[in-house]
Chains A and B, each alone.
Chain A
């Protein structure tokens, strides 16, 4: 198989959540390269510095220094970054929050699952969808999913 490795970024201030995410990701069939960030500020500094464009960014909403919504808005208003798919990864299940993130350009909204098996399934589904949008003729303007 000639599949490339997906570069994935995750910004989440909760250490346990970062660890679980990493663990879940490493159990999946899709090959990935994960970079972790403790808050939105670290993530945005990395995005401005780096020369490799990530294939997908996972963003927690509530983070210190710079929250997920602020990151999303910055990403979508930057010429270099605006095409990167963004998945919101949050405990909030408020309809208003969810709609707001979509309106501001999020592609996927994931309610943080409460157990490890569901977490793995959710991440797997996101990666599969993202893969289809990278490799098939699907309209990226309508890349909207709630998981």
Chain B
């Protein structure tokens, strides 16, 4: 049999935070989706224990404004890639508009803290989506190219090969074998 589930992300997020913060015995208030206040200043030790316990849920402590901005850039890129209409814009003007900073500034901050450029990150992200679709759906490469707004299947294959060093079909073959071996 199969069951289907759906999440209320706010409740999930608060439940996880509450569980972990209570477990570690902090006196705290959850201010909003991105902010938690503590009654007492955390020691470096406490902060790293907390970071560790939250990291298994994919929650990261953002420790300064630059890191926060980088996170917002990544979130905006994800939004843009998920939105068909937004895909018509150039990534540079889209980010500058949404985040109210010049693209040059955003691009600098991004490379400084992620060791890669915004352009490379977008490609990596798109290839990651393509990998996801190749591995988990029966869509053909042509359908995947269309879905991810590539101008042609050749463009997708080319970018895939250049980024991963593998052709989409080799990638697919490896994932299939991995599933057989249950890795």
Contacts and interface: CB of A to CB of B under 8 A. Distances in A.
Interface stretch (A14-22, A62-70, A139-147): A139-147
Nearest to A146: B165
A145 B113 contact: no
B10 interface: no
A146 B166 contact: yes
Given A76-B183, A104-B183, A3 B132 contact: no
A103 B132 contact: no
Nearest to B178: A103
B132 A30 contact: no
B26 interface: no
B125 interface: yes
The interface residues of chain B, by DSSP majority, are classed as helix
A142 B114 contact: no
Interface residues of A, number: 28
B128 A103 contact: no
A1 B113 contact: yes
Contacts of B113: 1, 3
A127 B125 CA distance: 17
A87 to B, nearest CB: 12
A132 interface: yes
Contacts, number: 71
B65 to A, nearest CB: 11
Interface of A: 1-3, 29-30, 76, 99, 102-105, 109, 127-129, 131-132, 135-139, 141-142, 144-147
Given A1-B66, A137-B58, A144-B166, 13 more contacts: A2-B63, A2-B64, A102-B178, A103-B178, A131-B115, A132-B114, A137-B78, A139-B131, A141-B135, A142-B128, A144-B175, A145-B163, A146-B164
27 contacts: A1-B66, A1-B113, A2-B63, A3-B113, A29-B115, A99-B170, A99-B173, A103-B174, A104-B181, A104-B183, A105-B178, A109-B165, A131-B114, A131-B115, A132-B121, A132-B124, A135-B60, A136-B121, A137-B58, A138-B124, A139-B128, A141-B135, A142-B175, A144-B166, A144-B171, A144-B175, A145-B166
Interface of B: 58, 60, 63-64, 66-67, 74, 78, 112-116, 121, 124-125, 128, 131-132, 135, 163-166, 170-171, 173-175, 177-178, 181, 183
